Chain A
Amino acid sequence: MTVPAENVGVQPDVGREQTRDGYERVYVWDLIVRASHWIIMLSIFTLAGTGIYIGDPFLIPSGATNEQFVMGNVKVVHSYAAIVFTLTVAVRIGWMFVGSYYARWREFVPTTARRIRDVFGMLKFYLFLAKKPPLNVGHNPLAGSIYLLVFALYLLMIATGFALYSVSADGYMEMWNFLLPLFGGAQMARWIHHVAMWFILGFFAHHIWSAMLVSKVEGMGLIDSMFSGYKFLPPGWRNRDD
């Protein structure tokens, strides 16, 4: 298949390979993107499970108080999962600036005219006004902007979480107590922490269905790509990519 020279432009440096039926197998998500996505997902499940218990301890052990440590243990798990979550988010955000082409921040902030156009193209598709979603190799720009909000929620969870941790911290973790007044006190920080969790879980509910839908209609192996790193691009994708 030939591509008009004027359409080639600057292609990202990604591994690609022609498949038998003219599709191109492109390595889109590097290991850090994939690993961070799944580690973040698992830590969120752990944090949400333990967090809901912290907010409303529904299991009440019987027996002598000095032999029980249920809330204590749950908070320990929450804290360790929080460390994993925070470090992974930090790595992923750093990777937005030094990582491979499709891991970069431009995937999340629609800056080029075409990506801004595709935000609306994607909206039209979701609203049944267009039959096909616009073709993109990386994140589609609408999804990308939503992920930006999701990352903002991650940072909010981290900031409120550290603020709450600082209330009882002894030692260097106490330094985070400067965050408390920014959130309007510890009770407000707790409220924000709790409500933002439900926004993340709400996003998750939308995310899996949209991933399935887009995966199916794009036919580029979107969901698989988050495991393997490869997408399958139909002939002609170079015309569309930036």
Chain B
Amino acid sequence: MDDPSSDFGRELLARGVSRREFLGFCTSLAVMIGLPRSASAAIAEAIENNPKPTLVWLNFQDCAGNTESFLRASKPTAAEVILDLISIDYHEVIMAAAGHQAEANLRSVVESQSGQYIAVVEGSIPTGAGGAYMTVGGRSALQIANEVCGNALATIAAGTCASFGGIPAASPNPTGALGISDAVPGIKTLINLSACPVNAQNLTATLVYFLTYSKWPPLDHLNRPLFAYGKSIHDNCERRAHYDSGQYVEQWGDEAHRDGQCLYKMGCKGPVSFQNCPNIGWNDNTSWPVACGHGCIGCAEPDFWDKMTPFYEHLPGFPGFGRGSDIDKIGFWGTLGVTGAFAAHTLTHLGKRLVQNGGDKAQEGPPASTPLDEGDEK
């Protein structure tokens, strides 16, 4: 039964989201965060009644992909309603205000709600050329980040660029791009929701966790919530049985590929990447990369564009032999080379000795006296 007496109930009704759907959503959130199912009541209660924080969304060097991920639910879902209820006072991509008016909105949030609003950052911060690579209203991204994140209750880095620099920071990093933690060190509370783009479900879950408990979820050493980044892709992958059995795709479209076997040999980075994609999926859990037959590219890891490439190779190769060069082949020939070199060296030494000793002459009988080693007389 929808309760049209509360704002929230009216909102759900207007969107055509049933109460049952909403409670189901709360339960799935509870499970996803790693709480018992019973916590869903507390979550539902908090979503309905707790005051919603103000949120400002900063876009820096980015492709707006995280905004897309965040807004593009295929149908109006409970998640979307919640995100709509959080008052987003500044978001360059979706706000109606423009120009000086928009900047005034941002300034008023920072000044009037200092220490109370949540800053969501999308995109990396260019620090090269004194910050000239990106300015908004005459101020550099670094200045804006310092001011807005510095005064926020908490900062959420949405996506890998804001978390770790991402693609703009990939070698040779022409703009000196940095993630928030490096660009604005000493932020009080920073939560990195890396991934390219951020999974809207993880963003929602993080916000709901805060709404419910007035604190942030436990984080890993990269400031990422453990509920979303605590396990490797590989350990939750539905193709894992094929990995353990040793049955791998060896070419796109081969029989193993059509059978849905493991993508390890096609360069899948699932074993070295951490996120909950296999569990929560993407696009309302329609699918996720490995389920579509493509390996994980490790998009949520720091420097993934430099470290996880070539995406279709197991390892990056050996420096000087090209990206994706075969380390085993190089190692094998290198070892053979060392063998050859030292064999030749040894044989030369022994050959020289043989010649100097005038041929291979074994002793005729036991030595009569003990010869002193030359150079050791004293």
B246–A59 CB distance below 8 A: yes
Taking A72-B244, A168-B235 as contacts, is the C-beta distance between A213 and B339 under 8 angstroms?
no
B307 close to A187 (CB less than 8 A): yes
Judged by a CB distance under 8 angstroms, whether B355 is at the interface is: no
The yes or no answer to B221 lying at the interface (CB within 8 A) is yes
Partner of A52, one of B328, B339, B372: B328
Residues of B within 8 A of A66 (CB): 241, 245
Nearest Cβ distance between residue B241 and chain A, in whole angstroms?
5
By the criterion CB–CB under 8 Å, are B265 and A57 in contact? yes
Give the number of A-B contacts (CB < 8 Å).
153
Closest to B378 in A: A239
Chain B residues, Cβ within 8 Å of A239: 376, 378
Residue of B nearest to A197 (CB): B331
Number of interface residues of B (CB under 8 A): 60
Instruction: Specify which chain A residues have a CB less than 8 angstroms from the CB of B62 in the assembled complex.
Output: none
* Complex Cα gap A68–B235 (Å): 18
The reply on A21 being an interface residue by CB < 8 A is yes
Assess whether A194 is interfacial by the CB under 8 Å rule. Answer: yes
Q: Does B343 contact A (CB under 8 A)?
A: yes
Mask, A59-74, CB within 8 Å of B = 1, is 1110001111111101
The residues of B that contact A1 with a CB separation of less than 8 Å are 370
> Given that A21-B366, A194-B315, A198-B334 are known contacts, is A168 also in contact with B247, CB under 8 Å in the complex?
no
Say which residue of A189, A201, A210, A236 sits within 8 Å of B372 (CB atoms): A236
Interchain CA distance A160-B242 in the complex, whole Å? 25
Residues of B within 8 A of A22 (CB): 370
Nearest residue (CB) in B for A203 is B338
Among B339, B373, B375, which residue has the most Cβ atoms of chain A within 10 A? B373
Q: Which of B243, B327, B336, B349 contacts A71 (CB 8 A)?
A: B243
Nearest-neighbor residue (CB-CB) of B241 within chain A = A65
Tell me if B295 counts as interface (CB < 8 A to partner A).
Answer: no
Pair B335/A236 contact, Cβ less than 8 Å = no
| Chain A residues in 8 Å Cβ range of B378 | 239
Which residue of A1, A185, A235 has the most chain B CB atoms within 10 A of its CB atom? Answer: A185
B339 pairs with A205, CB closer than 8 A: yes
Q: Are A68 and B247 in contact (CB under 8 A)?
A: yes
> Of residues A71, A204, A212, which shows the largest number of chain B Cβ atoms within 10 Å of its Cβ?
A71
What sequence of 0s and 1s flags, for each residue 193-236 of chain A, a beta carbon within 8 Å of any chain B beta carbon?
A: 01101100110111001101100110000000000000000111
Select A20's contact among B244, B248, B273, B366, beta carbons within 8 Å. B366
Question: CB < 8 Å: which of B314, B334, B348, B376 contacts A55?
Answer: B314
Complex Cα–Cα for A70 and B271 (A)? 17
The answer to whether B245 touches A187, judged by C-beta atoms less than 8 angstroms apart, is no
What residues of B have a CB within 8 angstroms of the CB of A240 in the complex? 376
Contacts of A20 in B (CB 8 A): 366
In the complex, are the beta carbons of A187 and B373 less than 8 A apart? no
- Asked whether A126 is an interface residue with its Cβ less than 8 Å from the other chain, the reply is yes
Contacts of B242 in A (CB 8 A): 65
B367 is an interface residue with CB less than 8 A from chain A? yes
CA distance A60 to B161 in the complex (A): 38
Mask of A143-173 contacts with B, CB within 8 angstroms, 1/0: 0000000000000000000000001100000
User: What 6 new A-B contacts, CB under 8 Å, besides A70-B245, A72-B245, A202-B331?
Assistant: A59-B246, A65-B247, A181-B221, A185-B272, A187-B315, A236-B373
List of 4 A-B pairs having minimum Cβ-Cβ separation, nearest first: A22-B370, A70-B246, A198-B331, A186-B272
A residues with CB within 8 A of B: 1, 20-22, 52, 55-57, 59-61, 65-72, 74, 126, 128, 132, 135, 167-168, 178, 181, 184-191, 194-195, 197-198, 201-202, 204-206, 209-210, 212-213, 216-217, 234-237, 239-240
